Amino acid sequence: MSKVISKQPQKEQVDAIASAVAETMKKTIDEQVDTTKDDSKLFYKNAEGKMLMCELTMARRENAPDPFLTTTNEEIRWIKRGQPVIVPWYVVDQLKNNKERKFRTEKDEQGKKVVVFEDIPTESFQYHAINPAPGVNF
């Protein structure tokens, strides 16, 4: 005598597993997207108490890579030049602090040639903070 096995219990098990996997994936994605869990990223906040975001526009330059590649805190970002993009404040902060030293010669008060330098930003860009909290000057 052959035994008949119903597929209904198997389908219920597969559905339960699929549901559990979907919930786990949703939590994983939410944790990756929610950058506010890192307290250091909340150094600057917006008016709603969340991480401050900025609108950033990288200047177009001849012979410069487009899109511009930047890595901040192990986050890789490709930023299209000449178009405004929304980025966290710490990306703009990194760009502001990324400087290169330019040297030139000048004459001092005695007429001698001396080498002087100035630190200038490596990249040209414009930005503004979006809805910063009161007292936040970024």
Are the C-beta atoms of residues 101 and 119 closer than 8 Å to each other? yes
Reduce the DSSP state of residue 6 to 3 states and report it.
Answer: coil
Residue 10 corresponds to which amino acid? Q
Model pTM above 0.85: no
Give the three-class secondary structure for 128: strand
Q: Tokens 């330098």 belong to which residue? A: 117
Q: What SS3 class is residue 112?
A: coil
Largest Cα–Cα separation, the chain? 113
pLDDT value for 40: 73
Residue 1 lies in a domain: no
Tell me how many domains the chain contains.
Answer: 2
In a domain, residue 67? The reply is yes
Query: Per-10-residue mean pLDDT for the chain, 138 residues long?
Result: 58 74 66 56 85 92 86 86 92 92 92 92 92 86
Do 89 and 22 share a structural domain?
no
